[in-house]
A and B are shown apart, each in its own frame.
With several copies, the nearest count.
Chain A
Amino acid sequence: MRILYFASIRQKIGLAAEEVSPPPEVTTVGALLEWLKGRDARHAEALGDPRVVKVAVNQDFADPEMKVAEGDEVAFFPPVTGG
């Protein structure tokens, strides 16, 4: 599973992308987020505040309940500020 980080979340984690293989019980966006937060202190801090962590699965905005699986591209980022 390919994980992407953008903007302040990318800066805090210090990575733009990583390949991960979460355990089989990680089947939703919410579970994946919790699992990633358990990786190290930087992940925990960068992904800690649910109000400022937005998620996209395969380039579409996603809810915590949404399913994720091997092969998906999952992106974590703060609220967008374009325009």
Chain B
Amino acid sequence: MIRVQTEDFDVAQELARVRRGDRGIGGIALFVGVVRAGAGDETIRAMTLEHYPAMTERELAKIEAEAKARWPLEAVTIVHRYGRLEPGDQIVLVIAASSHRQAAFEACEFLVDWLKTKAPFWKLEDTSSGSRWVEARAADDDAAERWQKESGS
């Protein structure tokens, strides 16, 4: 289940949806990304997420399909917000449910890594020292890259 929205999401509700009716689930891994209040000495006042709607839907569907192909998953949920967010606000929710905890953990981490490097979202931070676009981190590319290697071997 994939959703891209400006509204906040309710983790409990999404978790209930995943669990509902599926009695084969043994482990559920979740990730919630939230807006931090600061980085280093700066205070972050707000963050605006821009995205490329037509492409976002396609990329998220591809990422979900890839996770389901790699791990025996009973359910996957990705909810990603866009628009203006404030410190402490939720940005993204990823849920992976499986009969085995290892699959749930790996798939959840894979989904977050791929979201960070393949989903067309961009973050504009409004900080105490001005507004600026968040730069892509090499560490995120490395994190996503390890899944490529594992699939290629």
- Alpha-carbon separation in the docked complex, A78 to B132 (Å): 13
B52 touches A83 (CB 8 A): no
Evaluate whether A4 and B52 lie within 8 angstroms (CB atoms) in the complex, with A81-B136, A83-B33, A83-B112 already known. Answer: yes
Closest residue of chain B to A7, judged by CB?
Answer: B122
A83 touches B58 (CB 8 A): no
A7 touches B58 (CB 8 A): no
Query: Any chain B CB within 8 A of the CB of A20?
Result: no
Chain A 3-31, CB-CB to B under 8 Å as 1, else 0, gives 01011101100000000000000000000
Closest CB of chain B to A52's CB: distance in Å? 8
Measuring CB to CB, which residues of chain B are less than 8 angstroms from any residue of chain A? Answer: 33, 49-52, 54-55, 58-59, 80, 91-92, 101, 112, 115-124, 133-136, 140
- Residues of the A chain whose Cβ atoms lie less than 8 Å from the Cβ of B133: 7-8, 11, 78, 81
A80 touches B54 (CB 8 A): no
Question: How many pairs of residues, A versus B, come closer than 8 Å at their CB atoms?
Answer: 74
Q: Which secondary structure dominates where chain A touches chain B?
A: mixed
Query: Any chain B CB within 8 A of the CB of A32?
Result: no
Chain A 37-76, CB-CB to B under 8 Å as 1, else 0, gives 0000000000000000000100111000000000001010
B118 touches A80 (CB 8 A): yes
B122 touches A83 (CB 8 A): no
- Residues of the B chain whose Cβ atoms lie less than 8 Å from the Cβ of A59: 52, 54-55, 58-59
A81 touches B58 (CB 8 A): no
A56 touches B123 (CB 8 A): no
